[in-house]
Amino acid sequence: MKYRVSFEFRLTRHTTWPRDGVDFYDHVRSVMEKIEVHERVCDVRVITDLAESSLTVDFALEASSHVDAIPEALRLVREAIEGAGARHFGMGTVGYGRLVGSGATPGLETPIWQKRRVLIDLVA
C-alpha cells in the first residue's frame, strides 16, 4: 500500500543562516536528497519558509500497513537529518511526543529540526 506522509518542522540554528538563507535551502535540499534515494519513497516535496523558520516535508511511502508506515517514515527522515549533519527533536515514536534530541554534535551552526506534527494518509 502507498501512504502519503507529511512532516511539519521548525528549522533553526543558534546563529543566522549565512548568504541570505542560501545555506538554509542547501541544507534542506541535502536532507531531501537523502530521503529520495530510498526505493520505497517517491514524489518527495518540500515547502519552505525561511522567514518563519518552518518547512513541510511530504512524500509517498510504500508500506504494508499504517502501523508500519509511521515508524518507517520517522526512521527515514531521522536518518536523512542526521546524515546531513543536523540535530532533530521529537523524532522518536509518534505516541510519546517527547522532545528527545539526537543527531550531530551541538554547535552554533548545527541545523536543528524540531518536529511539530506528522500526518499520514492512505493514497487512493
Give the model's pLDDT for residue 16: 84
Q: From the CB of residue 107, how many other CB atoms can be counted at a distance below 10 Å?
A: 11
pTM: 0.87
Residue 99 has pLDDT above 50, yes or no: no
Q: Which three three-digit cell numbers place residue 55? A: 518547512
Mean confidence (pLDDT) of the chain: 88
Q: The domain at 2-122 falls in which architecture?
A: 2-Layer Sandwich (3.30)
- Give domain limits for the chain: 2-122
CB 51 within 8 A of CB 28: no
Q: Residue 34: which pLDDT band, with cuts at 50, 70 and 90?
A: very high
Give the model's pLDDT for residue 103: 66
Residue 98 has pLDDT above 60, yes or no: no
